Amino acid sequence: EAQVTQNPRYLITVTGKKLTVTCSQNMNHEYMSWYRQDPGLGLRQIYYSMNVEVTDKGDVPEGYKVSRKEKRNFPLILESPSPNQTSLYFCASSFIAGGMTDTQYFGPGTRLTVL
């Protein structure tokens, strides 16, 4: 089944404790992206990747790191989480066609709470 998976789905952690949220897709998509969603602010793009070893900052990259060593995986790393990073996180992927992204498929979301 074609899908985007994220792990963990729920995470409660404490300030400063490094964490990684994994994202994996099985559709051979070139494009992958991370978003956070907060009440009243909607979805905001954190980082995106057009292909392996290529990553770019989105609207809100501060406090986050990503890597794209393999086409199927795009982990989101919080080196020193802070309470303002408490949010619902989504990973998404798509093909790139004609120089633009195609239909994006979203993962189920990761709800992160930083105490």
Write out the residues near another protein by the rule CB under 8 A.
Answer: 4, 31, 33, 35, 40-45, 48, 50, 56, 58-59, 88, 90, 92, 96, 99-109
Least separation in angstroms between CB 68 and another protein = 13
Residue 62 has which token pair?
A: 């501060």
Q: In the complex with another protein, which residue's Cβ is closer, 45 or 73?
A: 45
- φ, ψ of residue 74 in degrees (nearest 5): -150, 80
| Shortest Cβ 106–another protein spacing (Å) | 3
Q: Are 83 and 38 in contact (CB under 8 A)?
A: no
- How far is the C-alpha of 99 from the C-alpha of 102, rounded, in Å? 9
